[in-house]
Amino acid sequence: MNFREQLETLADIKHSFVEKLSETESKTLRTSKLEILQLNITRKCNLQCKHCHVSAGPDRQELMSKAKFESILELLDKADISTLDITGGAPEMNPHLEWFIRSASGKVERIIVRSNLVILKEEEFKKYIKIYSENKIEIVASLPHFTENLTDRMRGSGIFSTSIEVIKELNTEGYGKNGTGKVLNFVHNPVGAILPGDQNALETEFKKRLMDLYGIHFNNLFCITNMPLGRYLEYLKKSDNYEDYMDELICSFNPAAAESLMCKNTLNVSWDGKLYNCDFNQMLELEADFEKFSNITDFDPSYFEDKMISVGNHCFGCTAGSGSSCQGTIE
């Protein structure tokens, strides 16, 4: 489905997000202080996961250019941004990543790379284990479930066992262990047409099972709701789960979660430098409304605050239950 077809599908639900939002105290969503810069530096990936809202894969060619990265470094010098959140696709497949990490280190408090782990087993990319370690990069890795069967059903055959091998290597580097300053967080996305359960309960179970079975350490588990976008939206439609899934998202709308959404303090930048309020808006080509600024090359960070956030019915995915963000549950 292209972005127009996705928007048309999302329009076909009982209540609109705008309508629900208008019933809350704040009525609309507006940006606050800019704290997180999230970069989608490529849509190329060595995997083709069933839940991928980016619809990333080996055939995608989109890569952020060095010139765009240089603009971002300039922005980091003039803006008080605490966190750089690098995602893709597989970020490692952008040839400028190593240079960019080394250049950006020291300009922000925290650099996150969202890695699919298995790419770190490939000859060309295994160097990143050391690069991440040397630069104290926080690794956020997808691990939908602690069983091989469920993880492989979502991410592809053999992915779970390779992920375990890579996690063990990261643990040897000190990742996931208290006191090392090397953070390894996992992301749990439900394997199927369901919303995630209680994050604390799931984290306890993941830690117990992964330690008992594989001797693995990690820091936190982030539970992230599968967004009704990209391949996941296609799955919902094909499996006749779309209506029930959207109904559950709408019924679980939580005004408190809407007050703390990540789009308030995050600027999302696509591979070509375009500006969005979040990663999901990027996939639907709903650009952020910063009036005269539409690209990172000319963006003035002082202009970020108190601007209307672009929303759509997919936003129900972030406001359901305890809420969902790239850092897991909101509340």
Partner 1 sequence: MSDYFEKKDLVDFANIGEYAEEEGGKFFEYYGKSMSEGKLSKREKCLIALTIAVVQKCPYCIDAYTNESLKLGITKEEMMEAIHVGASMQAGIVLAHSTQMRKIIKKKEM
Instruction: Point out which residues bind partner 1 (CB under 8 A).
Output: 145-147, 149-150, 188, 190, 192, 194-198, 200-202, 204-206, 251
Pairwise CA distance, residues 155 & 181, whole Å: 29
Pairwise CA distance, residues 149 & 152, whole Å: 5
Which residue type does 276 have?
A: Y
As measured in angstroms, the least distance from the Cβ of 275 to partner 1 is: 34
Nearest to partner 1 of 165, 198 (CB atom): 198
As measured in angstroms, the least distance from the Cβ of 311 to partner 1 is: 24
The SS3 call for residue 105 is strand
As measured in angstroms, the least distance from the Cβ of 191 to partner 1 is: 8
Pairwise CA distance, residues 173 & 1, whole Å: 41
Tokens representing residue 211 in the block: 């330690």
Element at 187 (helix H, strand E): strand 184-188
As measured in angstroms, the least distance from the Cβ of 244 to partner 1 is: 8
Pairwise CA distance, residues 143 & 85, whole Å: 18
Give how far Cα 263 sits from Cα of 32, 237, 256, 298, 315, Å: 9, 27, 14, 21, 10
Nearest to partner 1 of 71, 151 (CB atom): 151
As measured in angstroms, the least distance from the Cβ of 120 to partner 1 is: 25
Nearest to partner 1 of 38, 225 (CB atom): 225
Nearest to partner 1 of 213, 251 (CB atom): 251
Tokens representing residue 79 in the block: 């803006």
Nearest to partner 1 of 147, 172 (CB atom): 147
Nearest to partner 1 of 196, 312 (CB atom): 196
Question: Nearest 5°: CA angle at 41, between 7 and 53?
Answer: 30
As measured in angstroms, the least distance from the Cβ of 313 to partner 1 is: 19
Tokens representing residue 298 in the block: 């000319």
